[in-house]
Chain A
Amino acid sequence: MADYSWPEADRRGQIGRRPARLDGPVKSTGFARYPSDQNPPGLLAAKILTCPHAHARVVRIDTSAAEAIPGVRVVHVIQGEGSEIQWAGDEVAAVAADTEDIARDALRALQVEYEVLPHFVTEKHRDRAPAAQPGSERTDGDPDAAFASAHRTVEQTLGMPQMAHMCLEPHGQVAAWDGDELEVHASTQAVSTLAGQFASELGIPATQVRIRTEYMGGGFGSKFSPDRWGIVGAELAREAGAPVKLFLDRDQEVSVAGSRPSAFARVRVAADEQGKLVAWDSDSWGSGGLPGASQTPLPYVFSRLPNRRLRHTSVPTNLAGSRAWRAPNHPQACFLTMASLDDLANELDLDPIEFLDRNLEFTGRADVYREELGIAAGMAEWKERWQPRKRSRDSALQRGLGVSIHTWGGRGHASNCDVTVHPDGAVEARLGSQDIGTGTRTIVAQVLAETFGLELPQVRVSLGDNRFPQSGPSGGSSTVGGVCASTRRAAQDALREVLTRVAPRLEADPEQLTAAGGRVFVEGEPSRSMSWTEAASRIGGAPVSAQGRNPGPGRLISSGVGGVQIAEVEVDMETGVVQVKRMIAVQDCGLIVNRRLAESQVYGGLIMGVGYALFEEWIPDPVTGRLLNADMEFYKLAGLLDVGSLEVHMMTGPGYDERGVIGLGEPPVISPGAAISNAVANAIGVRVPWLPLTPDRVLDALAGRGGIA
C-alpha cells in the first residue's frame, strides 16, 4: 500500500510557511464576486415580509394591492391563513419585482391580519416560562459527601444571553432556472450537500441542481442549509421565469438567520486543602429560541472530576431557532466553568494559574495545558504582574489579569479531491469544498505545491462548485483536515503515476525519484534529473489524474487540541466601562499548513471573543417579543480599537507536527469570554455574573446588586 504522509520538517517546501492568501488580490480590489454580487441578465429582486409578532395566527392575507403594482412579478404567500407563527421575523410572504424598491413597495401593500397570541422571550426567568423542559438529573460519584467534607466551596449564578452570528454577507442566494435545471449562487458553508436539500424541497432530482460559491461573506455555523428563503427564492424564479436575487435585510439577518443559545447556571464547586477540585454541582438552563437549548459540557475541560451532579432545563421561547455558533456550546460551558474555578481559586487564596495547574489531571491533555500555561504566563509576565483580587478602590482605573483554557476536536471531515497533472506541467485540484474565509483555497494549493515540488503560481485550486468531488460542509473546524488529507492522497497518487512514467528516462526505479524545487530527480543524485515541465511532457498526450479520499490510509490528520488564553483589562470604576488591553492566546492545532492563516484564525477568534465578552447580545423586548437591537448600531460588534493588543503563540514543531493537520477555526473563540470576565473580577474585586460585561452590569456588581435570578 502506498505510504501517505507529510514530509519531514527539513524537507517541507510549502507546509508551515506563511504565503499570503491566494484570493487576497481579488478580495482587496473588490473584484471577487460573492453570491450577493451576481447580476445575471433579467435579474429580479426579491424581498420577504416577516411577521411583526412573536406569536400569532395569520387570519387573512390580501395580496391584490401588491400584485397590482407595476413591476411586481410574483407574490408568494409562504405562511397562509391559519398558520401559527412562533417568532417575530418568521417569513409570511415574498415578492419578486423588477427592482428592490418596487419589491419593498409591494411588501408595504401586502395586507396581513393577525390574531396575536401570548409570547415568552425572556428565558432568564425560567420560572415564568410556559414550556420549560427540565431534563433528568445526572450524578457521578458522591457529590454530597464531597461537598460536605470540602475545604472551600463557591456557589453563584452566572449567565450569558443569546447573541447573533451577524455574518456580514446576509443569508441568501441568486437562483436561476434553465428549463428544469436550477443554478444557485448561494452564500453557504455546504456546497456539496446543498443540492440534495434544494432538490427534495423543489421536487426535482438532485442532478438538476448546481450550487456555486466561489466566495462567501461569513457563516460561523449559520449557513448549512438552503433555508426557507432559499426554497422560496428558487420558487419565485421558477414562477417568474427569470433569475431572482433574495438576500435578507439586516434586521432579518440578525433576528432569524443565526444565534447562539444562552446559558445560565447555578454553579457550586468545591476544593480540598491542597487546592484540588473535589465536587461540581450545576443547575443550568438556557434557550436557543423555539427549540430550547441542550446541556453544555460541564464542568468544561475538567471533565474527569469524579463527583458531580448536573441538571439542565431547556427553555423554549418565541424567538427564531439558534444555529451552530462557532464552537457550539463551548464558549458557554467555558464561561460557566472557568469563572467558577477562578472564584474558587480566589477563595483558596491561590493564583488561578497555579490552581488550574494543580487540577490538570482532570483534563484529557494535562501535558499540553501545562506547557501552554507556562508559555502564556511567560508572555503575560504573569508572575511579576498578577496580584490577588483587589479589595481597595484606590483609583478610578483598575487593571486585572484573567486566564481560561479550552478544548476542541477538529478532525477532518469526509472529503474527495481530484488532482490532475496536465502534459504542460500545470497541476489542478478540484473539490466540492468552500473557502468561507479561513483560507481553504490557499491551503489546498500549498498541499499540491508541496507534493509536486512546485511553487504556488504553478498550481490551481478549483472549489465552490458541487460538480466537483463531494467534500464536507465547513463546520466544526473539520475542513482543513478533510481537504488536506484528500488532496495529499490524490496528489501523492498522481505524482507516483508521473514518476512511474518518467522513471525509464532517468534510468531509475520510480521509488528512487523525488519531485522538489521544480525538478524530478534521483534521490541522492540531483544531477540525474529533469525539470517538472519536461517530466510532465513525457506522461503522454492525456493528463494523469487521481482521486484522493478522506478518511483514508496514512496518518495525515488527527483531533483534539487545547488552548490557553490570558486577558488583561482596565476597568473604569466610575463608568463601568471595560477595556481589553491585551489578549494572549497559546494554541495547538497539530501540523500547521500556513502559519499566517493560522494566526489570522486565532486573531479572529480573539476579536469575536472580545465582542461577545463586552458588547454582543440579543435584546428581546418582553412586551413586543421583537429584538430591540436587530441592526448594527445597537447590536455592536467590536471595532478596530476595541480589542487591545493581541499576541498569538502557536504550538508547533516536534510533539505537535507529527499529529497531522487539525482544525483551528473554533478553539480560539472559546476562552475569551471567561478570560475577560476573570480579568474584570481580578481588577474590581467582585464577579460580574453576566456576559457581556456592559457598564451597567459592572456598576451593578460593584454596588452589590444585579445578580441573575
Chain B
Amino acid sequence: MNGAVRRLEVEPRVTLLDGLRDVLDTTGPKKVCDRGACGACTVLEDGQPIYACSRLLIESAGRSITTVEGLGSPEAMHEVQRAFVENDAQQCGYCTPGFVVATAALLARNPAPGEEEIEAGLGGNFCRCGTYMGIRAVVAGPGQAGGDGGGNVGG
C-alpha cells in the first residue's frame, strides 16, 4: 500500500475501506455512503480506480493499493492535487480525496477526455459543496476554457 508492503490480519468481512481507515490509519479515503454510490472512498488497485467500501480487504491481498496520500503530500503534490488547489476544486474537502484519485486515474488513461469519458470517469463521484467548476477546470487542464484565469496561487 502506497509503496510499502503491509501485513495484517483481519476478519474476512472487513472492507478495504474499513481496513485502510480503521486498521492502517490511512484516512484519506472517506466513508460517505459505504455502498458504492458516491466515490468518496476511491482508491487505485493495481492502477485502476475502485470503491474501497465495496471491496473486501482480503480481495485486495497481493495487489497494489494507492490512496490519495500515496499520490503526493502537501510538500510534494501530484500534479492533479496541485491542480485541485489552483482551481479551488474543494470547499469542505470531504469529497476531494475520492475526486483526486478518480481524476488522476481518468487523466492517466486519457489526458484529454471527452464528455463521455469524463462521465464514465467522474460520474460516480459526488460533491455536496458544489466544487464541480473547479474539477472541470482540473480535467480541462491548464489554459483551457473553464480554468481559473485569475491565477495567483499562494498569495
Inter-chain CA distance A640–B95, complex, in Å, is 12
Asked whether any CB of chain A lies closer than 8 Å to the CB of B3, the reply is no
Quick one: which of A31, A45, A632 contacts B33, CB cutoff 8 A? A632
B21 to chain A, nearest CB (A): 7
Contacts of B14 in A (CB 8 A): 99, 101
Residue-wise interface mask of B (1-18) relative to A, using a CB-CB cutoff of 8 A (1 in contact, 0 not): 000000000010110001
Pair B93/A32 contact, Cβ less than 8 Å: yes
Asked whether any CB of chain A lies closer than 8 Å to the CB of B71, the reply is yes
B82 to chain A, nearest CB (A): 8
Which residues of chain B from 80 to 125 have a CB within 8 Å of any chain A CB?
81-82, 84-86, 88-97, 100, 115, 118-119, 122-123, 125
Interface centre among B77, B91, B135, B150 (most CB of A within 10 A): B91
Which residues of chain A from 204 to 227 have a CB within 8 Å of any chain B CB?
215-218, 220
Nearest residue (CB) in A for B83 is A28
Nearest residue (CB) in B for A606 is B130
Pair A457/B35 contact, Cβ less than 8 Å: no
Which residues of chain A from 422 to 480 have a CB within 8 Å of any chain B CB?
436-439, 449, 455-457
Asked whether any CB of chain B lies closer than 8 Å to the CB of A250, the reply is yes
B70 to chain A, nearest CB (A): 9
Quick one: which of A100, A449, A456, A604 contacts B130, CB cutoff 8 A? A604
Give the contact-size bracket for chain A: 35 or more
Quick one: which of A27, A457, A646 contacts B93, CB cutoff 8 A? A27
Contacts of B30 in A (CB 8 A): 34, 36, 168-169, 217
Asked whether any CB of chain A lies closer than 8 Å to the CB of B136, the reply is yes
Quick one: which of A32, A34, A438 contacts B91, CB cutoff 8 A? A438
Known: A20-B154, A218-B129. A31 touches B69 (CB 8 A): yes
Inter-chain CA distance A456–B153, complex, in Å, is 11
Contacts of B95 in A (CB 8 A): 168
Nearest residue (CB) in A for B146 is A645
Known: A250-B33, A632-B37. A640 touches B77 (CB 8 A): no
Contacts of B97 in A (CB 8 A): 28, 30
Contacts of B50 in A (CB 8 A): none
Known: A24-B88, A168-B32, A596-B150. A29 touches B119 (CB 8 A): no
A534 to chain B, nearest CB (A): 22
Contacts of A597 in B (CB 8 A): 88
Inter-chain CA distance A208–B13, complex, in Å, is 39
Nearest residue (CB) in B for A609 is B130
Contacts of A596 in B (CB 8 A): 88, 148, 150
Known: A37-B21, A606-B130, A632-B37. A640 touches B122 (CB 8 A): yes
Contacts of B44 in A (CB 8 A): none
Pair A28/B118 contact, Cβ less than 8 Å: no
Pair A18/B32 contact, Cβ less than 8 Å: no
Pair B132/A643 contact, Cβ less than 8 Å: yes
Pair B27/A218 contact, Cβ less than 8 Å: no
Contacts of A28 in B (CB 8 A): 68, 77, 81-82, 84-85, 89-90, 93, 96-97, 100
Query: How many A-B Cβ pairs are below 8 Å?
Result: 204
Pair A30/B92 contact, Cβ less than 8 Å: no
Inter-chain CA distance A641–B130, complex, in Å, is 12
Pair A217/B94 contact, Cβ less than 8 Å: yes
Inter-chain CA distance A633–B125, complex, in Å, is 12
Nearest residue (CB) in B for A668 is B130
Quick one: which of A26, A250, A608 contacts B74, CB cutoff 8 A? A26
Known: A19-B153, A168-B92, A596-B150. A640 touches B33 (CB 8 A): no
Quick one: which of A39, A216, A640 contacts B123, CB cutoff 8 A? A640
Pair A215/B93 contact, Cβ less than 8 Å: yes
Known: A168-B32, A168-B40. A218 touches B130 (CB 8 A): no
Pair A217/B93 contact, Cβ less than 8 Å: yes
A583 to chain B, nearest CB (A): 11
Known: A24-B85, A29-B81, A640-B123. A36 touches B131 (CB 8 A): no
B49 to chain A, nearest CB (A): 15
Known: A25-B85, A456-B155, A641-B123. A250 touches B35 (CB 8 A): yes
Nearest residue (CB) in A for B153 is A20
Inter-chain CA distance A167–B128, complex, in Å, is 7
Inter-chain CA distance A638–B132, complex, in Å, is 10
Known: A218-B92, A600-B91, A632-B37. A39 touches B133 (CB 8 A): no
A602 to chain B, nearest CB (A): 9
Known: A24-B90, A100-B22, A604-B91. A633 touches B35 (CB 8 A): yes
B146 to chain A, nearest CB (A): 8
Asked whether any CB of chain B lies closer than 8 Å to the CB of A637, the reply is yes
Inter-chain CA distance A633–B37, complex, in Å, is 6
Nearest residue (CB) in A for B40 is A168
Pair A34/B69 contact, Cβ less than 8 Å: no
Known: A45-B22, A168-B95. A632 touches B130 (CB 8 A): no
Asked whether any CB of chain B lies closer than 8 Å to the CB of A639, the reply is yes
Pair A607/B130 contact, Cβ less than 8 Å: yes
Inter-chain CA distance A117–B132, complex, in Å, is 45
Contacts of B72 in A (CB 8 A): 29
Contacts of A19 in B (CB 8 A): 152-155
Inter-chain CA distance A218–B91, complex, in Å, is 9
Asked whether any CB of chain B lies closer than 8 Å to the CB of A23, the reply is yes
21 residue pairs of the A-B complex, CB under 8 angstroms, read A29-B74, A29-B100, A30-B29, A33-B27, A34-B94, A39-B27, A169-B32, A218-B91, A218-B92, A218-B128, A250-B35, A456-B155, A457-B155, A596-B88, A603-B132, A607-B127, A607-B130, A607-B132, A638-B132, A640-B118, A640-B125
9 further A-B pairs in the complex, CB-CB below 8 A; given A215-B92, A607-B130? A20-B152, A29-B71, A29-B72, A29-B74, A30-B68, A218-B94, A437-B129, A599-B88, A643-B132
Give B contacts to A, CB under 8 Å. 11, 13-14, 18, 21-22, 25, 27-35, 37-38, 40, 67-69, 71-74, 77-78, 81-82, 84-86, 88-97, 100, 115, 118-119, 122-123, 125-136, 148, 150-155
Give A contacts to B, CB under 8 Å. 17-21, 23-34, 36-37, 39, 45, 99-101, 166-170, 215-218, 220, 249-250, 436-439, 449, 455-457, 595-597, 599-600, 603-608, 631-633, 637-641, 643, 646
